[in-house]
Amino acid sequence: MKPSQRKGRSVNGVLLLDKPEGSSSNAVLQQVRRLYGAAKAGHTGSLDPLATGMLPICFGEATKFSQYLLNADKRYRVIAKLGEKTTTGDSEGEVIKQCHPVLVSDEQIEQVVRRFIGPIEQVPPMYSALKHQGQPLYKLARKGIDIERRARTITIYSLDWCRVDIDHIEMTVHCSKGTYIRSLVEDIGEVLGCFAHVKVLRRLQVGSFAGDMLSLEQLREVSESDGVDTLDQYLLPVDVTLCAYSCIVLDEKTAAVFYQGQGVNWVTSIDIPLGLVQVWSGRGEQKEKFIGVGEWVSGGRLLPRRLIRHDET
């Protein structure tokens, strides 16, 4: 009989990791989970192996709310290489088409960039994790199989650029969920009259999270010098995944009913938009314990949608 394996530590919270270049998001996730000795962890939106930057890692109870970060807006810094089209849309792929880019004026670039501001239709790349009949598209792409993809509506909130040289353009992109920067760069290259692919990509922001990231090297140094438990100091609380949502604070009695999975009636003088909300227990408007996510519906009714375990917070 095999000895039982350790399930890992009960770790809860969110780590803002600075993903290194050259590794997949899942590979980095597994390294972080092992460093923490955590029983459960997940990331909130893949970055390409070439990309670096903000990769929020959710531990334990925070994984229940990772979807809210997946749906958050993102901000990137990207350097596009002009004059070359690759199989993957970035510099990791093989160059399949080339042309000599023509130096254009600032006014011309500005006119092109403006065409991509606001809601636009974007066709996802073949080298993506989207699935076709259960198979990730990138696996089919590696076999030389091309699948027709439907265009999806995404939103580019801002697109600021600075000219680097005749072969490169550097841009900062603020966009909605589901945006593929590789596709955006390829589309911009086409409008400029040349090919283009992503040479450098760094995610700067996910939702309200910006800056204050930690690298794998920093985490390893702390773990080796001070012990694995000291890594917990870098975790943000579970509720930060929901910072974009309004809060409702329930008294102890009402919170107990809600926590049992039952809807409750609640009267508040605060104007709270209908929809998903953070739910806390506390006194008055003073938050004491995070309970989970509820749905605030018409008639002053609060319905439970996703609850956390009290003994894990």
Give the pLDDT score at 312: 47
Give the pLDDT score at 313: 43
pLDDT digits (tens, 9 = 90+) for 64-111: 998 888 888 999 999 999 999 999 999 999 999 999 887 778 888 889
Classify 245-312 by CATH class: mainly beta
Token pair, residue 201, equals 């990509």
- Whether the Cβ atoms of residue 48 and residue 201 lie closer than 8 Å to each other: yes
Domain 13-71+209-223+232-240 fold: Pseudouridine synthase (3.30.2350)
Tally of CB atoms within 10 A around 274: 9
pLDDT over 60 (residue 118):
yes
Q: Residue 133 and residue 173: Cα distance in Å, rounded? A: 32
Instruction: Using a pLDDT cut of 70, give the percent of the chain over it.
Output: 97
Give the pLDDT score at 155: 97
Torsion over CA: 158, 161, 47, 60 (sign): negative
Domain segments of the chain as ranges: 13-71+209-223+232-240, 74-206, 245-312
Confidence category of residue 4, pLDDT binned at 50, 70, 90: very low
Share the mean pLDDT of the chain: 90
Q: Residue 181 and residue 124: Cα distance in Å, rounded? A: 10
Give the pLDDT score at 165: 81
> If you average pLDDT over residues 38-47, what whole number do you get?
90
Confidence category of residue 284, pLDDT binned at 50, 70, 90: confident
pLDDT digits (tens, 9 = 90+) for 195-229: 999 999 999 999 989 888 999 999 999 999 998 99
Who wins on pLDDT, 44 or 276?
A: 276
Give the pLDDT score at 262: 94
Give the pLDDT score at 310: 66
Q: Residue 309 and residue 259: Cα distance in Å, rounded? A: 9
H, E, C per residue of the chain: CCCCCCCCECCCEEEEEEECCCCCHHHHHHHHHHHHCECCEEECCCCCCCCEEEEEEEEHHHHHHHHHHHCCCEEEEEEEEECEEECCCECCCCEEEECCCCCCCHHHHHHHHHCCCEEEEECCCCCCCCEECCEEHHHHHHCCCCCCCCCEEEEEEEEEEEEEECCEEEEEEEECCCCCHHHHHHHHHHHHCCCEEEEEEEEEEECCEECCCECHHHHHHHHHHHCHHHHHHHCECHHHHHCCCCEEEECHHHHHHHHCCCCEECCCCCCCCCEEEEEEEEECCEEEEEEEEEEEECCCEEEEEEECCHHHC
> If you average pLDDT over residues 42-46, what whole number do you get?
87
Phi, psi values for residue 260, rounded to 5°: -80, 5
pLDDT over 60 (residue 267):
yes
Give the pLDDT score at 253: 93
- Whether the Cβ atoms of residue 55 and residue 216 lie closer than 8 Å to each other: no
Confidence category of residue 311, pLDDT binned at 50, 70, 90: low
Our answer to whether residue 229 is catalytic in this structure is no
Give the pLDDT score at 1: 39
pLDDT over 80 (residue 151):
yes
In CATH, what number does 74-206 get?
3.30.2350.10
Q: Give whichever of 141-150, 163-172, 264-273, 290-299 has the largest mean pLDDT.
A: 290-299
Q: Give whichever of 1-15, 120-134, 269-283 has the largest mean pLDDT.
A: 269-283
> If you average pLDDT over residues 123-134, what whole number do you get?
80
Of the candidates 48, 90, 187, 239, the residue annotated as catalytic is: 48
Fold agreement between 13-71+209-223+232-240 and 245-312: no
Name the nearest CA neighbour of 28 among 173, 213, 240: 213
